[in-house]
Structure 1
Amino acid sequence: MSTTKWVIDPTHSEIGFKVKHMMFTNVSGKFQKFDASIETEGDDFAGAKIHFSGDIDSVSTGNADRDAHLLSADFFDAAQFPKISFEATSFTKEDEGDFELTGDLTLHGQTKSVKLAAEYSGQMKDPWGNTKAGFALSGKINRKDWGLNWNSALETGGVLVSDEVRLAIELQFIKQ
């Protein structure tokens, strides 16, 4: 069986995250510069090799001061750790259209294994004849597992920034 390569369509993909602020509201952000690829045997995605990398300095939360703080040594330390990356270690079909994606997430100079739910949306030809495949990924990580420890206590109890980061990722790939 031949290997099929897929590359990310960045204009139709989004690498997003949400973090609770002051324990009760979510702040959303995304990475705007990234690259990803998939290698499959034929058209079956089970067991696919998946690679992702993103530029830390492309983080955007819609607030320039907050983004500057995220890039500082308090959080991502973009000067020392300019990339976030992910290498799949397994991509297992759970049910029709549902997969479990396990892999190594490297962030802030540390690599840890994470599991994400992956919903496969199917394949379709676009108006220009390109075959596209869509996925929605979701999951949670604890930012402190990667050494992103900065926080500030609130007078009322609790902390300014939650440890839990929820991932919301929409991906569209183009068959090569």
Structure 2
Amino acid sequence: MSTVPRPDQLTGDYVFDTARTRVAFVARHTMSTRVRGHFAEFAGGARLDGDDPSRSRAWLTAEARSVRTGNRLRDDLVWGKFLDGARHPALSFTSTEVRRVDEAHYTVAGDLAVRDVVRQVVLDLTLTGGGTDADGGSHVAFRGGATIDRKGWGVDWNALTSVMVAPRVLLELDVVAVRERR
């Protein structure tokens, strides 16, 4: 059963459940259609402090080669040209600051590394649930994201790209994290 836990119930070390977590993006193509994609291979975790969220930390690493958009040719293009995946095989996020806005909303600032360019991003996250799993373990769920300008990370390989693909990209996170057992 999943309910929204009180912040003081969150304290602990967590790993992202890759079967129930989605690391995704949405970009506009030719300013009229949306291209949705996600990363199939990633790892992440968090150290949550429910009493003092400013002491919380989170991290995520996604394999560039695992990008999936529903079109293999486009996947190869995003991996090869946009992400330059042969030279930069992973994208990563490491939090630098966590703030509780209210009982269910948080902002998580951190360093997003794409193509070895590191820039600050602020994620808006909502605590959407938590509870006990069938095996007795605990989990917590967050949903949210940020809108970024891909050009800030050098994700722009030719002049035509600037016309065909909008610079703003929506990053979407739907995370279920499982508390590590000691």
Alpha-carbon offset, residue 49 of structure 1: 1.1
**Structure 1: which 4+ aligned runs deviate by more than 3 Å?**
151-154
Pairing partner for 2:140 from 133, 138, 157: 133
* Cα drift, residue 19 of structure 1: 0.2
Contact 1:152/1:160 (<8 A) preserved: no
| Contact kept? 1:152, 1:161, Cα under 8 Å | no
Q: Equivalent of 1:9, from 6, 14, 17?
A: 17
Note the 1:87-106 alignment, pairs <5 A: 87-106=94-113
**Shift in Å, 1:44:** 4.3
Which of residues 118, 132, 154 in structure 1 aligns to 2:125? Answer: 118
User: Following the alignment from structure 2 to structure 1, what is the Cα–Cα distance between the partners of residues 149 and 175?
Assistant: 22
* Distance of 1:51 and 1:172 partners within structure 2: 14
Q: 1:34 aligns with which of 39, 42, 66?
A: 42
Structure 1: runs of 5 or more not aligned: none
Partner residue of 1:24 out of 32, 44, 47: 32
Question: Normalized per residue, which structure has more strand?
Answer: 1
Deviation at 1:28, TM superposition (A): 0.1
- Aligned-residue CA RMSD in angstroms? 1.7
TM-score (norm 1): 0.90
Structure 1 CA distance for aligned equivalents of residues 85 and 168 of structure 2? 20
Residue type at the aligned position of 2:174: E
Amino acid at match of 1:165: V
Q: How does 1:43-122 map to 2 (within 5 A)?
A: 43-44=50-51, 46-47=53-54, 48-72=56-80, 74-122=81-129
Identical amino acids, percent of aligned pairs: 28
Q: Does 1:173 align with 2:177?
A: yes
- Equivalent pairs counted in the alignment come to 169
Q: Tell me, which stretches of 5 or more residues in structure 2 are unaligned?
A: 1-10
Higher helix share: 2
Q: Which residue matches 2:168?
A: 164
Tell me the TM-score normalised to structure 2 length: 0.88
Q: Is the 8 A contact 1:19 1:162 kept in 2?
A: yes
Return the letter of the residue paired with 1:161: V
The answer to whether the 8 A contact 1:23-1:161 is kept is yes
